[in-house]
């Protein structure tokens, strides 16, 4: 289900670029094995290399711009970043839809299993893209994912051997359990609006993709988990399970902030320093 043909053409395109002091932000796209194009930003330091690289995946509330400021800061330290927009965020519904129509579209998107497998495969295809560049050090590759990006980053860690380090921020170890048991308003809404038959089918297809089936296979990659006390989306037992099941080496940190880590400088500093160390830049 998570396999794809790596010999497929990347169809890499660049639509524009913005040159800044010390690096360039390139607006790019590449072909998804599921069809269509993956919109991304490629942030590249000025002359030098080969550079280590980081792939970023945003939370469900974000897009490829979410981690752009972090990628720009890393570029000044000599790191290439690839920031991808997830499949569900690549199109926007017409503005004249009713609330009921918008709700139905949202439910269709959430219950579409293909979008979840596509997230993982599109990230792997992004790694293929990075490997195609001569100025990338393919032995120093990291991943940062938040919420949506952490939940499916946990799956990615079990199937993608080329990434050496993962930062997983506020992810779910079992997204299927969340849908079945969470008292969050979104979970309540999904259970109320989907028919019993459709909901059960959704869960049965989702359960094999839970990150807890994959995160124990991440080794030898190193893992940093970042969680929030009293997270409105991620129950503590899910966080504890994610960390306890994960393979070693691994670390975990907890923060007093919201699910989106709003203005949480401590979490930003911790993951930045961890990434720098993992990429072998701490003495440079």
Residue 284 has pLDDT above 60, yes or no: no
Q: Name the nearest CA neighbour of 84 among 46, 121, 45, 123.
A: 123
Burial class (CB in 10 A: 0-12, 13-18, 19+), 234: buried
- Is 4 inside any structural domain? no
pLDDT of residue 93: 67
* Structure confidence by residue, pLDDT tens digits, 77-94: 999 999 999 998 887 767
Q: What is the mean pLDDT of residues 128-134?
A: 95
Q: What is the dihedral of CA 224, 229, 234, 238, to 10 degrees?
A: 70
Burial class (CB in 10 A: 0-12, 13-18, 19+), 208: exposed
Residue 1 has pLDDT above 70, yes or no: no
Terminal-to-terminal C-alpha distance of the chain: 41
Q: What is the mean pLDDT of residues 38-53?
A: 94
- Is 283 inside any structural domain? no
* pTM of this structure: 0.94
- Is 8 inside any structural domain? no
- Sign of the Cα torsion 118, 122, 124, 128 reads positive
* Structure confidence by residue, pLDDT tens digits, 230-264: 999 999 999 999 999 999 999 999 999 999 999 99
- Is 1 inside any structural domain? no
pLDDT of residue 31: 96
With vertex at residue 127, the alpha carbon angle to CA 22 and CA 138, rounded to the nearest 5 degrees, is 70
- Is 251 inside any structural domain? yes
pLDDT of residue 10: 92
Arithmetic mean of pLDDT over the chain: 94
In this structure, what CATH number is given to the domain that contains residue 141? 3.40.50.1820
Sheet with 23-31, side-by-side order of all strands: 13-20, 23-31, 37-45, 80-84, 51-57, 136-146, 165-169, 222-228, 250-255
pLDDT of residue 24: 98
- Is 72 inside any structural domain? yes
Looking at the structure of the chain, the number of domains it has is 1
Residue 12 contacts residue 28 (beta carbons within 8 Å) = yes
- Is 2 inside any structural domain? no
Domain ranges, residue 249: 13-278
- Is 81 inside any structural domain? yes
């Amino acid at each position: 289900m998570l396999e794809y043909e790596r010999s497929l053409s990347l169809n890499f395109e660049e639509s524009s670029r913005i040159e800044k002091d010390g690096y360039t932000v390139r607006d790019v796209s590449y072909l998804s094995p599921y069809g269509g194009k993956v919109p991304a930003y490629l942030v590249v330091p000025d002359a030098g290399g080969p550079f280590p690289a980081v792939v970023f995946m945003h939370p469900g509330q974000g897009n490829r711009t979410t981690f752009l400021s972090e990628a720009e800061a890393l570029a000044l330290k000599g790191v290439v970043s690839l920031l991808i927009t997830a499949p569900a965020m690549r199109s926007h519904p017409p503005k004249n839809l009713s609330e009921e129509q918008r709700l139905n579209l949202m439910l269709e998107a959430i219950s579409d299993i293909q979008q979840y497998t596509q997230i993982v495969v599109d990230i792997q295809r992004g790694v293929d893209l990075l490997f195609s560049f001569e100025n990338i050090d393919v032995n120093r590759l990291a991943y940062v994912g938040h919420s949506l990006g952490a939940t499916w980053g946990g799956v990615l860690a079990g199937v993608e051997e080329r990434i050496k380090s993962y930062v997983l921020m506020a992810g779910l170890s079992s997204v299927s359990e969340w849908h079945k048991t969470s008292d969050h308003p979104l979970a309540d809404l999904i259970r109320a609006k989907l028919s019993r038959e459709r909901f059960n089918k959704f869960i049965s297809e989702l359960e094999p993709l839970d990150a807890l089936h994959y995160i124990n296979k991440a080794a030898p990659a190193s893992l940093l988990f970042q969680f929030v006390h009293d997270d409105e989306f991620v129950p503590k037992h899910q966080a504890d399970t994610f960390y306890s099941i994960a393979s070693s080496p691994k670390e975990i940190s907890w923060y007093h902030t919201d699910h989106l880590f709003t203005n949480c400088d401590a979490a930003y500093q911790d993951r930045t320093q961890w990434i720098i160390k993992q990429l072998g830049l701490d003495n440079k």
